[in-house]
Structure 1
Amino acid sequence: MPESLQKIYIQVAVALPISDTFTYTVTGELIEEVAVGKRALVPFSGRKITAYILRIIPPGKRKGIKDIITVIDTRPLFPPQMVEFFEWLSHYYLYPIGLVIKGALPAGLNVRIPDRTRMPSRGWLDRVGLLKMVFITLKKGTTIDRSLFDRKRLPRNEDEFLEMMIKKKEVSLREINSVFSNGAYLADKWVRKGFLKKTRRTVARDILDETLFIPTKPPPLNSKQKEVAERINEKLRDNTFFTYLLYGITDSGKTEVYYHAVRAAKELGKQSIIMVPEIALTVSMASLFKARFKDRVAILHSALSTGERYDQWIRIAKGDADVVIGARSALFAPLPRLGLIIVDEEHDLSYKQEEKFRYQARDAAIMRAKLSDAVIILGSGTPSVQSYQNAAIGKYGLLTMPKRILKRELPEIQVIDMAKLKRGSAAQDESIMSPPLKEAIEENLTQKKQTILFLNRRGFSSLYLCRFCGETIRCPNCEVSLTYHKYGNNLLCHYCGFSIKPPKRCPSCNSEDLKPYGFGTQRVAQVLESLFPKARVERMDRDTMRRKGEAQQVLKRFMQHETDILVGTQMVTKGHDFPDVTLVGVISADLSLNYPDFRAGEITFQLLSQVAGRTGRGNMPGKVIIQTFNPSHYAITATKDHDYTKFFSREIALRRQVNYPPFSLIAYVRFLGNSKTKTEKIAAHIGMKIRNTIKQQSKRKNAVEVLGPVEAPMAKLKGKYRQQILIKSRTSRYLNQLLKDVESFSTQILSSSGVRMIIDVDPYQMM
């Protein structure tokens, strides 16, 4: 073997909180096994750790380079094209590249090396998470003739078991056991008789409810849909990066445009990613595409089990999928021929991850499309102010679909001024449900139509209050009021999970006069059950969606008309298509308006418009009733008029005036500590250092603005006191370099202080 081939060098990232990459040597037989996208086991600081191979480095004179121990994988976990994407994510969001990659991979691939002292067996991880199932099959050439057996002497369940085998020929033991309490015994009995055989094989887990599949034949496109689809197809044929903002009002037929774009990409030999903001929305989207593309569809999201996500990842990596559908994590699908990315409901705040690796999936998707020379479609009925501004200045192409399909009318929207309601004996119920809303629900029930009620607050009551001294029962860890949950009879903190039983006496004045005030989805559901005892009411919020598959089942029951009224948080506002929903009620439009966030108006307009879009999607016209104490707010009036441009004009002027995005880029530097005094001191020290750093570099003086440090709106969360500094910048280059400087000079300041610093680029959580 030539000397140049006896040794190669590789650049790797380690799955540790370290920003640097490292170089290792590969020799001997391992050279043939090395490939970008595989993992290697490497020596690092006296231990063996997992490293991700980023690139093979040209030979050169290098000294003191350690050898890798082994190559872990038999096939790459991601294609070489994704390396540059991972590097960009690490650079822009200031997060170690090894942890970026670790977070992108399914958990089944991140399991610990089984033995740190022995070499792992070749390809051992390829077997992790695979599901082996037992199947019972009619033996080849064997026929079970019913006439050979005395049916009267066969137990009834055995007779039914044989009937199943005759009809289906092959059945999994899992299915047999779900039908017969003694399924394993029956199967073994007839295997011993020689009529059946038992086999064990690996299968991919079925993660979709087949009953939700939509008819496979797509409806014909209308003229506007055809126009939009053709413009997308033109860019797909160009094989170059392009961003489209698809502004289509609710029920304008965006999903069918998505389908035609994916089909066009497939015909060109390209693969596609479709991202949705909520895991629950993958059900309907994936069902539609699986009904049309059969087994060429894969699903990726964090609610899948380890084994399910592993199955899907391996299918994608092997090239068995043309389209991947999922929430944020679908962005990392290892597609080597990526040609199209669709971000549905691009405005949704759920695309921003708020823990650990704090990336914005929509913005990251644009960069992945750019690096892949792919087309990206940002779809929304209520585009983000940032995206619409980019379209207005020509940075994005703008596609519009201003009318509903099948000439359906937009719903009539009625705004109820709750401040004008007369107070009386029914005042408490009326604060939840105004007379016009009650009457509309009653009429809807009489006509056997369905209703959605939206309230973006879960629980029963938002406060547990002493009526003698005014004290509220608060979370000791977060300094927020505990929410009363009637089911379980407990007071719960929705931020840290702290829970207690309601106290019988006020901890402040010892009074026994304590009572829950305010309302959440639990309370709304109870009021409905009291007012309309025959109505079938169901809730859709985080409390009811804890079990796996529950969201899918709630939506299925509603679709099949087993539920009359669906009460929910923002889960019910997004992307669902229920033809028999003719009434939507917004219990309180003011919750999001009162949020301490420069996006409060935008969030309110989007939530109201999206939930309004759930009605009138069938043959009957829809109606929306919005209850508010701020009927003249521009977000409310624009929603009532179905006028996005009216809202955008007002909102963009306000943003320009205060220099908030899209006219600047922002980042939060947050400080969390056990001691309030020490946290304030550290934040002040680093804030001063940031300002001094800016002063020393003349180019940054007018390009960067620093606000704070100040106490965070939620001054204490999960037991930690919180301070924050807001940095605004005209360019990402200045902002990124400044934040790297902050990381560098803060290391020593934070050392042994007990205070933790978090940098959040493009923050969406202002609390």
Structure 2
Amino acid sequence: SLETAEGVSPQDDPARKLTDGSLLPQLTDEQSEAVDAIRGADGFVAFLLHGVTGSGKTEVYLHALADLLAARPDAQALVLVPEINLTPQFEAAFRNRFAGLPEGAIVTMHSGLAEGERARNWLAAHTGRARLVLGTRLAILASLPKLALIVVDEEHDPAYKQQEGLRYSARDLAIYRAKRLEIPVVLGSATPSLESWWQAEQGRYTKLTLARRAVAAAVLPTVRLIDLEEERQRGRASVEGLSGPFVAAMKMRLERGEQSLVFLNRRGYAPILSCDACGWVAGCPRCSAYVVLHKPERALRCHHCGWESRIPKSCPDCGNVDIAPMGRGTQRVEETLASAVPGARVLRIDADSTRLKGSAQALFSDVHAGEVDILVGTQMIAKGHDFKRVTLVGVLNADTALFSHDFRASERLFAQLMQVSGRAGRSGLPGEVMIQTRYARHALFHALARHDYVGFANSTLAERRDAHLPPFVYQAMVRAEGRTLEVALEFLQRAVEGFSMLPGADRVTVYDAVPLTVVKVFNVHRAQLLIECASRAVLQSVLRAWQPGLRGLKVKGLVRWNLEVDPLDI
């Protein structure tokens, strides 16, 4: 049962001990207001829970779930997280808080489970035996006959978009499903997507704000920009891409028994292996992309198709033995830290170090247990994790996203940096974030230093409005794949023949067919066709009328195509 002997629900009993021996946390005023709003929702309401990192969004979820389960004995709730490695800590929190639920009432759903376990969990949800279902994007498709609340944590995360096979956005499906069932849905994030933020600004979503960290002594970390150009001009030494001030700060944390986190969103040892003599660069024979050097495995690996080869002893073009890696990945940073910060216990967490089942959970447990001094990793360590001892976060190589052709690049970079910055100083110890950059005057970094998501979002939305980009227009993308680029482009060019005759086509903009940024993957050439419209209803109507013609279109050569609405990668 979710009630105490006196009939008081757990959320009203702050003295109640949890299964791990801790007390049920007292809510802050902001958290209480958010919980009250969710509890009082009548029918469909989309809540946007905007809370700074460490503000206790998870505690709001737990209290809202406790309210629901105490009020309705048969109700079910669905909680979505963007990545598999976030499920263990959420599952532990659920089992700790809802220990009174019968066995099998809390289940997980994600692709990392064995087929039998996933089927059993799906059946438990389908029969109503599972009261709390925790999962990644595929869980939104689960059968839940008594579903009464949906929570989407880190709602901004691109991982919620399925971009292969059946294409869908789990976040958007969560909102659609909640509306159909007339139940509330909670979208939580420290950096909401601009689409969700705009919906809240327009009053379509109800905004709930957590502006302060939940731990009274914990404040947002200070952000320091390290100007690499200024460091170079002043002749200050750096160690393999690690600036002097950052190395000194890590040594200081090591002396104090605190932890440091180094964030670099690039795995492997180096992204390029090249020859200085002739300019040869190691490329994938099956993709139009460079292969990545993985030094521990002594291999070159393509991160697009998985092709792998041994590292050549000399340049295959000119025979020069002096071939060298260019750039840095997490493996190289891990190697550098071992010599730059002597005595530090360095741990790397990325897709390469967590290939085996359960390995990610084991590595994160080592961090939480204090057995690691410096944690190096990619986006896997950037969000959702509550590292109590981390007081320093360093960000390497963030500049590349500032000049991307993708109009969403700055939004993603800001969210990524704010999320990883939030790992510092969560338990009351003062936190510091150091960002190495050659563009220290960039407005994005200054907004980040002020922890000013609202200012960044509003200025970026103004730019989007002027440029007629989402969320002020709606997009769809047709992608075609063929054995040659000419075949893929021919399919798209023929696809738009007669497009103007479709009802509503005069209100739709169709751009020219172009190759994708990475044209060839696994010997398949790819091209795309972008469509825009100021009205979603008109766009959907045109797409419905267009699809029969697309399905019947024939060209010389085999072509696979797909149609995606609201594409994230353009």
1:675 maps to 2:481: no
Task: Indicate the structure (1 or 2) with the bigger Cα radius of gyration.
Answer: 1
1:225 maps to 2:31: yes
Q: How does 1:589-668 map to 2 (within 5 A)?
A: 589-668=398-477
Q: How does 1:48-63 map to 2 (within 5 A)?
A: none
Aligned partners of 2:432, 2:32: CA distance in 1, in Å?
A: 29
Structure 2 residue aligned with 1:260 = 63
TM-score (norm 1): 0.69
How much does 1:534 deviate? 1.6
Aligned partners of 1:425, 1:642: CA distance in 2, in Å?
A: 31
Deviation beyond 4 Å, 4+ runs, structure 1 = 212-216, 423-427
Of 551, 554, 558, the residue aligned with 1:750 is 554
Aligned partners of 2:539, 2:517: CA distance in 1, in Å?
A: 24
Percent of residue pairs identical: 39
Aligned partners of 2:212, 2:389: CA distance in 1, in Å?
A: 20
Structure 1 residue aligned with 2:12 = none
Of the two structures, which has the highest relative contact order with CA contacts closer than 8 Å and spacing of 6 or more? 2
Of 222, 229, 233, the residue aligned with 1:419 is 229
Q: Is 2:80–2:152's contact at 8 Å kept on the other side of the alignment?
A: yes
| Partner deviation per Cα, 1:46-90 (whole Å, 9 max, x = no partner) | xxxxxxxxxxxxxxxxxxxxxxxxxxxxxxxxxxxxxxxxxxxxx
In structure 2, relative to structure 1, the CA distance for the partners of 1:536 and 1:650 (3 Å cut) is same
Of 309, 326, 329, the residue aligned with 1:520 is 329
Structure 1 residue aligned with 2:521 = 717
How much does 1:746 deviate? 2.4
Structure 1 residue aligned with 2:189 = 380
| Partner deviation per Cα, 1:626-650 (whole Å, 9 max, x = no partner) | 1112222222211111101110122
| Partner deviation per Cα, 1:176-234 (whole Å, 9 max, x = no partner) | xxxxxxxxxxxxxxxxxxxxxxxxxxxxxxxxxxxx98546420111111111111111
In structure 2, relative to structure 1, the CA distance for the partners of 1:507 and 1:213 (3 Å cut) is farther
Letter in 2 for 1:674: R
Q: How does 1:343-354 map to 2 (within 5 A)?
A: 343-354=152-163
Of 203, 223, 245, the residue aligned with 2:48 is 245
Q: How does 1:178-257 map to 2 (within 5 A)?
A: 214-215=20-21, 217-235=23-41, 238=42, 240-257=43-60
Q: Is 1:216–1:292's contact at 8 Å kept on the other side of the alignment?
A: no
Letter in 2 for 1:589: A
Of 501, 505, 509, the residue aligned with 1:700 is 505
Aligned partners of 1:479, 1:424: CA distance in 2, in Å?
A: 40
Structure 1 residue aligned with 2:533 = 729
In structure 2, relative to structure 1, the CA distance for the partners of 1:617 and 1:607 (3 Å cut) is same
Structure 2 residue aligned with 1:493 = 302
Q: Is 1:213–1:288's contact at 8 Å kept on the other side of the alignment?
A: no
Aligned residues: 546
Aligned partners of 2:23, 2:140: CA distance in 1, in Å?
A: 28
Match of 1:461, SS state, is coil
TM-score (norm 2): 0.92
Match of 2:289, SS state, is coil
In structure 2, relative to structure 1, the CA distance for the partners of 1:736 and 1:724 (3 Å cut) is same
Aligned partners of 1:595, 1:285: CA distance in 2, in Å?
A: 34
In structure 2, relative to structure 1, the CA distance for the partners of 1:224 and 1:712 (3 Å cut) is same
Match of 2:293, SS state, is strand
Letter in 1 for 2:493: A
How much does 1:281 deviate? 0.6
Q: Is 1:750–1:756's contact at 8 Å kept on the other side of the alignment?
A: no
Of 74, 81, 89, the residue aligned with 1:276 is 81
Aligned partners of 1:740, 1:505: CA distance in 2, in Å?
A: 55
Of 90, 96, 104, the residue aligned with 1:291 is 96
Stretch of structure 1 that moved more, 223-232 or 414-423: 414-423
How much does 1:752 deviate? 5.7
Aligned partners of 1:213, 1:611: CA distance in 2, in Å?
A: 30
Stretches of structure 1 lacking an aligned partner (at least 5 in a row): 1-211
| Partner deviation per Cα, 1:362-387 (whole Å, 9 max, x = no partner) | 01110111111110000001111110
Match of 1:574, SS state, is coil
How much does 1:591 deviate? 3.4
In structure 2, relative to structure 1, the CA distance for the partners of 1:254 and 1:588 (3 Å cut) is same
Q: Is 2:239–2:340's contact at 8 Å kept on the other side of the alignment?
A: no
How much does 1:504 deviate? 2.8
Structure 1 residue aligned with 2:3 = none
Structure 2 residue aligned with 1:25 = none
Aligned partners of 1:389, 1:748: CA distance in 2, in Å?
A: 38
Aligned partners of 1:245, 1:693: CA distance in 2, in Å?
A: 38
Letter in 2 for 1:281: L
Aligned partners of 1:367, 1:311: CA distance in 2, in Å?
A: 26
Q: How does 1:399-410 map to 2 (within 5 A)?
A: 399-407=208-216, 408-410=218-220
Match of 1:405, SS state, is coil
Structure 2 residue aligned with 1:530 = 339
Match of 2:526, SS state, is strand
